Amino acid sequence: MHIISHPLYLAPIPLYAQLYAAQGLIVDADGTFVKQTFRSRAIIATENGTQTLTIPIVHNNGQKMRDVRISEHGNWRHLHWNALQSAYRKSPFFDYYADDFAHFYEEKDGFLLDFNMRLHATICGLIGLERPIATLEESTMEWAKNNYSDLRPAAAPQEFAKNAPPAPPAYYQVFAQRNGFIPNLSIIDLLFNMGPEALIVLRDANK
């Protein structure tokens, strides 16, 4: 089995759990970009609960995901990295992985697709969840729908909330004693809190 997904920003953990059980990932780079989705948003856990990180984009109505350019408006890179440091600096593995992510918030990436996929490759390499990646072409879309698990609807938070793939079991979170365990966060939460054991958590979601 392969899974089809939109290219997401630090995607929710359940999607990586699905990828663990899959043979590969097919990325829909030609789908229409939709605002207020996980294409440009990620949810992390902070001392005061969840926080949504949103990448600003140069928006043109109806543009394909592969054509979406990142806007440098509002110093968002600095804000996102500060938020990640604030949320996870006390986590067991933040210092271990920080250098792998800091440069993403210093460099200027022109396209959102490239930024998301480079982050995805880094995360998979650190977790040990490397799967082949292919791009879904429009000519093969109907064939892919009939033969692959289509997770593209999960890019919309409201659809994800209603039809989320099975979540992994509870794992250690820095602020769990204060806020309780929060499921379905960005994969970055699992990585910084569990390190190499993140792969075991993803495996256990498929039992």
Closest CA to 119 of 186, 68, 184: 186
Residue 207 is predicted with a pLDDT of 79
Q: Is the pLDDT of residue 120 over 50?
A: yes
Question: Could you tell me if 38 and 160 are in contact, meaning their C-beta atoms sit under 8 angstroms apart?
Answer: yes
Using CA atoms, how far residue 118 sits from 7, 55, 70, 176, in Å, is 10, 15, 14, 30
Q: For the segment 162-192, what is each residue's pLDDT rounded down to a tens digit?
A: 777 777 889 999 999 999 999 999 999 999 9
Q: Give CA–CA dist 45/10, Å, rounded.
A: 13
Per-residue pLDDT, averaged over 123-151, amounts to: 78
Q: Is the pLDDT of residue 146 over 70?
A: no
Per-residue pLDDT, averaged over 66-82, amounts to: 93
pLDDT band at 59 (very low <50, low <70, confident <90, very high): confident
Residue span of the structural domain in which 70 resides: 2-204
Percent of the chain surpassing pLDDT 90: 73
Number of structural domains, the chain?
A: 1
pLDDT band at 60 (very low <50, low <70, confident <90, very high): confident
Q: Is the pLDDT of residue 139 over 50?
A: no
pLDDT band at 112 (very low <50, low <70, confident <90, very high): very high
pLDDT band at 144 (very low <50, low <70, confident <90, very high): low
Kindly report the pTM of this predicted structure: 0.93
Q: Is the pLDDT of residue 204 over 60?
A: yes
Q: Give CA–CA dist 44/12, Å, rounded.
A: 9
Q: Is the pLDDT of residue 140 over 80?
A: no
* Strand arrangement of the beta sheet that strand 24-27 belongs to: 133-135, 24-27, 2-5, 149-150
**Residue-averaged pLDDT of the chain:** 91
Per-residue pLDDT, averaged over 48-56, amounts to: 97
